[in-house]
């Protein structure tokens, strides 16, 4: 900064604002903007004129140019970026448009006027070739209009007006960026946010004591934050004011205004307000107070900022709640929403306005902590929480510890004031609330994942998932996870085999994974089970009545149409968990299990009949006749030997195919014959177990299966292999050969450490399936083992499948993390929905 510039005027400009430069053509606006703002902050009307007409001075393009300017400015302001408009803006109409724009995005409009003598402007224009023939009268008009405007700029709505007079003042001015009042992102607390007090002084003191404050000071340096409505209705509003004002004054507290302070403040300023809703009590109680105290209260209320953004933007505190687009914004309507919330325009049967449930729509990352609407219990909804638990109505006074997210409360000593309507016993959104919104899942989307960054979902895949999710899936509240797809092993070159475990071990060795576990692939259908300890847990944690969990397929469909059958299975699983002592050991009252449900024919009956058994039936019907005909022809001396041999081979392959699918079918009666083999505990209360090493997982599950007295549960056989040890690898291959030789489906090879990254930091495949030679007949067709078929089938491309497996895996992990951390339903559902959508991506279905 040069010496002479510091001598000049200092212009404070708010960090998020719409800065309007006002000055005649040639007054030096562009130079000023260049000097004081980043180039991307500045939008000039000349530039926009050029965009739409190829000529920066084409006045006929002005209207379109300003449309473009408004559009760009709007996008920037919506994104929270300061924007400087470089246009003459000497006319009131032009400025009004910009003020409206600032209002639309709830930012401060600021005017910086460059009042430069007309001759200077004219001279500068004359020196510019593109403006050399601009008539003198244009600048004259600009200057005239500017002068006329100067007086009413503030009245027009500019919240700051800086007028620079003369060339020198323009040259020497300095712009300094100022933070907004509501921006306290640098304060990280820790905080104790306290709900609506309404003059309940005694409860406030009790709560402060419980929180650890002594005379308004916390020994650990915590800061109290009051959500407003300190006064009215209750027994001692002055005492509450005194306490809060002292704490704010000494820097031990922050306070945002409630609608009751606001109204009382207007009363103190001498405005006429109705003394209703408990204001009369406050006025009466304040009568005993000194003039000086009343004056202090007036100033205190006057100085309150509508809301605060705290803790690096992670926390927003205000009185009546605030949608994300208003966070950190400054406008009349932001203040109004912060004080009063939003209403639908309807009134309820008590004559009170119906509040718009803004929190249902809330999708922001910042937690919004507020009060205003009395509720019986403070509960989180979409990362928002209302702390008004009706202390003055005989409820309790509640505080939220941040960042601990712990609730602390003290009961009201008595009912101090009768409520106009009963406290709503339901969370916003109603009993079946926590609604999901279509905008959470619809269209092209990008889901942020902790493990693999951004995962995108294409529109057509989301559309298919929407149909399946809506028409067939279980209640999304009971659908906190969907299993990812799994890639098969690289194609084997071993004669007669398409898949062989040697490839799986080699791949993990290459990825730097030494220890793997081979888990038997059960011959059933993938099943996810959410098991709650009892119906009460299901209601409290997952918000559902009538069930104690869910049992669903890999696309989220219930396994059984009859809910009582599901409950019966959940009951048996629950009993085993209880007997194994897992609830306490894992510190949870619900469990999410990944499992296989058998037999396959239970779930896939339709597919079996329409496809697999049909192929068996057709081949069984056709070959006897065809072979007999060929044999007869052969007897007649017709040379059909090659053809006959081939048909016999085909008949054999078809019979092998029929045998293959039959192994996956058996008759069940009720739950007799049904088996469930859990192979991973995915998550429990407060914790995703996806990263628990598989040996520990299996040890837990073994104990749990052992305690099953119903014959439902089945263990998963496994073998641990060291990928670097040829002996161990050979043992793994032999194990697989033995298992599949007896008709087994095959196995899944997984890194022992569960969630594992390669040296380059990429997620390695969480599992590689290696399917048995006979099983593959029902995937690749009865005759796939013929050498010419195998040769062609070996041309298979795994990259897309592998990428899909990793992306779905990342989404699955994300869903589990979000679930474990108690994130809002829509956040969990977003990831789950993503898995389902990706499942509809085009990939070779045989992989």
Partner 1 sequence: MFLTISTTGTPERPATDLGFLLHKHPGKAQAFSTSYGTAHVLYPEADAERCTAGLLLEVDPVALVRRGKGKGRGGAPDAALAQYVNDRPYAASSLLAVALSTVFSSAMRGVCTARPERAAQPLPLCIEVPALPARGGPDLVRRLFEPLGWAVTVEPVALDSEFPQWGDSRYVRLVLASQTLTLAEALRHLYVLLPVLDDAKHYWVALDEVDKLLRAGEGWLPGHPEQNLITSRYLSRRWSLTRQAREALELVRLAEADDSAVEEIDNAVEAETQTEEKPTPLAVQRRDAILAALRESGASRVLDLGCGQGQLVQALLKDPRFTEIVGVDVSMRALTIASRRLKLDRMGERQASRVKLFQGSLAYTDNRLKGYDAAVLGEVIEHLDLPRLPALEYAVFGAARPRTVLVTTPNVEYNVRWETLPAGHVRHGDHRFEWTREEFRAWAEAVAERHGYGVEFVPVGPDDPEVGPPTQMAVFETRTVNEKEAKAA
Please list the alpha-helical segments (H only) found in 90-151: 92-104, 118-127, 136-150
The residue among 651 and 820 lying less far from partner 1, judged by its C-beta, is 651
CB 473 → partner 1: shortest distance, Å?
A: 8
Question: Rounded to whole angstroms, how far apart are CA atoms 680 and 698?
Answer: 7
Q: Which of 67, 168, 437, 706 binds partner 1 (CB under 8 A)?
A: 437
Nearer to partner 1, 288 or 625 (CB): 625
> Which tokens belong to 650?
């085909």
Residue of 116, 245, 465, 504 interacting with partner 1 (CB under 8 A): 465
Beta strands 315-318 and 307-310 are: antiparallel
CB of 385 to partner 1, least distance (A): 20
Question: Is position 673 an interface residue for partner 1 (rule: CB under 8 A)?
Answer: no
Which residue, 487 or 630, is less far from partner 1 as judged by CB? 630
In the bound complex, what is the minimum distance in angstroms from residue 638's beta carbon to partner 1? 5
Task: Kindly tell me which residue out of 190, 364, 419, 429 binds partner 1, with binding defined by CB under 8 A.
Answer: 429
- The nearest distance, CB 588 to partner 1, in angstroms, is 24
CB of 490 to partner 1, least distance (A): 15
CA–CA separation, 708 and 697 (whole Å): 17
Site for partner 1 in 629-668 (CB under 8 A): 629-633, 636-640, 643, 646-647, 650, 654, 658, 662, 665, 667
| Number of residues located near partner 1, criterion CB under 8 A | 112
Residues 600-619 binding partner 1 (CB under 8 A) are: 600, 603-604, 606-607, 609-619
From 87-95, 248-256, 456-464, 568-576, give the range in contact with partner 1 by CB under 8 A. 456-464
Among residue numbers 230 through 269, which ones bind partner 1 (CB under 8 A)? none
Burial class (CB in 10 A: 0-12, 13-18, 19+), 764: buried
Identify which of 281, 750, 283, 305 has the alpha carbon closest to the alpha carbon of residue 515: 750
Give me the least distance between CB of 683 and partner 1, in Å please.
Answer: 22
Closest approach of Cβ 605 to partner 1, in Å? Answer: 8
Q: Which of 39, 625, 670, 761 binds partner 1 (CB under 8 A)?
A: 625
Under rule CB under 8 A, which residues in 520-539 are in contact with partner 1? 525
Calpha distance 201→149 (Å, rounded): 52
Query: Using CB under 8 A, which of 127, 439, 699, 724 touches partner 1?
Result: 439
Task: Note whether 471 binds partner 1 by CB under 8 A.
Answer: yes
Task: Scan residues 283-312 and list those touching partner 1 (CB under 8 A).
Answer: none
Q: How far is CA 635 from CA 630, 641, 841, in A?
A: 9, 11, 53
Tell me if 817 sits within 8 A of 488, measured CB to CB: no
Instruction: Give least dist CB 463 to partner 1, A.
Output: 5
Q: Which is nearer to partner 1, 300 or 362 (CB)?
A: 362
- Is the CB of 50 or the CB of 353 nearer to partner 1? 353
Tell which residue, 347, 381, 346, 341, has the closest CA to residue 361: 381
Instruction: Please state, in angstroms and rounded to a whole number, the distance separating the CA atoms of residues 182 and 172.
Output: 30
Site for partner 1 in 347-366 (CB under 8 A): 347-348, 351, 353-354, 360-361
Site string for partner 1, 478-507 (x = CB under 8 A): -------x----------------------
Touching partner 1, residues 741-800 (CB under 8 A): 778-783, 789, 792-793, 795-797, 800
Long-range contacts of 330-337 (CB under 8 A, 24+ apart): 330/14, 330/16, 330/106, 330/107, 330/108, 330/159, 330/180, 330/181, 330/182, 331/102, 331/103, 331/106, 331/107, 332/103, 333/103, 333/106, 334/106, 334/306, 334/307, 335/306
CB atoms within 10 A of CB 602: 20
d(C-alpha 195, C-alpha 226), whole Å: 6
463 is an interface residue for partner 1 by CB under 8 A = yes
Nearer to partner 1, 311 or 342 (CB): 342
**φ, ψ (nearest 5 deg) of residue 754:** 65, -95
174 versus 634: smaller Cβ distance to partner 1: 634
- The strand pairing partners of 178, in sequence order, are 14
Asked if 127 is part of the footprint of partner 1 (rule: CB under 8 A), the reply reads no
Of positions 276, 288, 546, 787, contacts partner 1 by CB under 8 A:
546
φ/ψ of residue 108, rounded to 5: -80, 130
Q: Collapse the DSSP code of 359 into the 3-class scheme (helix H, G, I; strand E, B; otherwise coil) and give the result.
A: helix
C-alpha 793/C-alpha 497 separation (Å) is: 11
Could you tell me the smallest distance in angstroms from the CB atom of residue 78 to partner 1?
17
Residue 317: CB minimum distance to partner 1, A: 27
Q: Is the C-alpha dihedral spanning 645, 647, 648, 649 positive or negative?
A: positive
Q: Does 440 bind partner 1 (CB under 8 A)?
A: yes
In angstroms, the CA 613 to CA 374 distance is: 62
Buried b (16+ CB within 10 A) or exposed e, 648-683: eebbebbeebbebbebbbeeeeebeebbbbbbbbbb
């Amino acid at each position: 900064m040069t010496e002479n510039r510091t001598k000049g005027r200092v212009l404070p400009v708010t960090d998020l604002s719409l800065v309007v430069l006002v000055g005649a053509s040639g007054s030096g606006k562009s130079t000023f903007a260049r000097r004081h703002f980043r180039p991307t902050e500045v939008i000039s009307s000349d530039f926009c004129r050029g965009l739409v007409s190829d000529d920066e001075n084409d006045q006929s393009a002005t209207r379109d140019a300003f449309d473009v300017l408004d559009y760009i400015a709007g996008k920037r302001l919506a994104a929270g970026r300061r924007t400087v408009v470089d246009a003459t803006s000497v006319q009131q109409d032009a400025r009004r448009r910009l003020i409206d724009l600032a209002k639309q995005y709830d930012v401060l409009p600021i005017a910086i006027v460059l009042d430069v003598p007309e001759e200077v402007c004219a001279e500068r224009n004359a020196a510019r070739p593109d403006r050399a023939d601009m008539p003198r009268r244009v600048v004259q008009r600009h200057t005239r209009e500017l002068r006329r405007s100067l007086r009413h700029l503030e009245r027009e709505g500019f919240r700051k007006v800086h007028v620079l007079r003369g060339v020198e003042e323009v040259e020497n001015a300095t712009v300094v960026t100022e933070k907004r009042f509501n921006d306290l992102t640098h304060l990280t607390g820790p905080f104790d946010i306290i709900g609506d007090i309404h003059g309940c002084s005694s409860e406030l003191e009790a709560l402060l004591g419980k929180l650890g404050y002594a005379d308004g000071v916390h020994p650990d340096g915590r800061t109290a934050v009051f959500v407003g409505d300190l006064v009215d209705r209750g027994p001692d509003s002055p005492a509450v004011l005194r306490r809060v004002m002292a704490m704010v004054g000494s820097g031990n507290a922050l306070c945002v205004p409630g609608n009751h302070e606001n109204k009382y403040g207007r009363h103190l300023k001498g405005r006429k307000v109705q003394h209703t809703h408990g204001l009369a009590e406050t006025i009466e109680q304040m009568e005993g107070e000194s003039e000086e105290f009343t004056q202090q209260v007036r100033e205190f209320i006057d100085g309150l900022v509508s809301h605060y953004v705290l803790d690096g933007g992670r926390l927003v505190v205000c009185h009546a709640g605030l949608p994300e687009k208003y966070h950190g914004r400054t406008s009349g309507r932001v203040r109004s929403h912060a004080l009063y919330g939003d209403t639908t325009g309807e009134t309820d049967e008590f004559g009170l306005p119906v509040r718009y449930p803004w929190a249902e729509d809330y999708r922001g990352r910042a937690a919004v902590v507020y009060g205003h609407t009395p509720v019986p219990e403070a509960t989180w909804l979409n990362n928002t929480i209302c702390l008004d638990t009706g202390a003055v109505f005989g409820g309790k006074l509640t505080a939220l510890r941040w960042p601990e997210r712990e609730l602390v409360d003290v009961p009201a000593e008595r009912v101090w004031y009768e409520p106009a309507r009963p406290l709503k016993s339901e969370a916003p959104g109603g009993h079946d609330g926590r609604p999901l919104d279509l905008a959470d899942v619809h269209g092209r989307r990008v889901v942020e994942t902790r493990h693999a960054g951004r995962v995108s979902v294409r529109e057509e895949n989301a559309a298919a998932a929407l149909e399946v999710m809506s028409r067939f899936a279980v209640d999304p509240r009971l659908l906190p996870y969907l299993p990812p797809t799994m890639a098969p092993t690289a194609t084997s070159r071993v004669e007669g085999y398409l898949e062989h475990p040697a490839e799986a071990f080699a791949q993990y060795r290459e990825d730097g994974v030494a220890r793997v576990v081979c888990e038997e692939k059960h011959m059933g259908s993938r099943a996810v089970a959410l098991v709650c300890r009892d119906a009460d847990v299901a209601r409290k944690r997952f918000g559902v009545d009538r069930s104690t969990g869910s049992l669903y397929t890999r696309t989220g469909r219930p396994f059984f149409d009859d809910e009582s059958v599901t409950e019966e299975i959940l009951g048996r699983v629950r009993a085993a968990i209880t007997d194994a002592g897992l609830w306490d050991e894992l510190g949870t009252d619900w469990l999410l299990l990944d499992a296989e449900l058998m037999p396959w024919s239970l779930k896939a009956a339709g597919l079996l009949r329409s496809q697999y058994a049909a192929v068996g039936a057709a081949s069984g019907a056709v070959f006897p006749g065809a072979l007999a005909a060929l044999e007869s022809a052969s007897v007649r001396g017709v040379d059909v030997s090659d053809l006959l041999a081939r048909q016999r081979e085909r008949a054999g392959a078809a019979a092998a195919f029929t045998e293959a699918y039959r192994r996956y079918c058996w008759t069940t009666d009720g739950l007799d014959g049904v088996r469930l083999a859990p192979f991973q505990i995915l998550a429990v209360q407060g914790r995703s177990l996806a990263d628990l090493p598989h040996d520990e997982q299996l040890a837990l599950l073994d104990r749990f299966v052992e305690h099953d007295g119903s014959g439902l549960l089945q263990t998963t056989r496994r073998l641990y292999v060291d990928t670097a040890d040829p002996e161990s690898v050979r043992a793994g291959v032999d194990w697989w050969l033995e298992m599949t030789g007896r008709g087994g489906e095959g196995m899944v090879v997984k890194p022992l450490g569960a969630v594992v990254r390669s040296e380059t930091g990429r997620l390695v495949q969480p599992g590689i399936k290696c399917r048995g030679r006979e099983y593959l007949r029902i995937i690749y067709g009865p005759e796939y083992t013929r050498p010419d078929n195998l040769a062609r089938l070996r041309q298979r491309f795994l990259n897309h499948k592998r990428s899909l497996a990793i992306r779905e895996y990342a989404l699955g992990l994300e869903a589990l993390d979000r679930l474990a951390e108690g994130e809002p339903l829509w956040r969990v559902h977003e990831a789950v929905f993503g898995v389902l959508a990706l499942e509809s991506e085009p990939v070779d279905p045989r992989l």
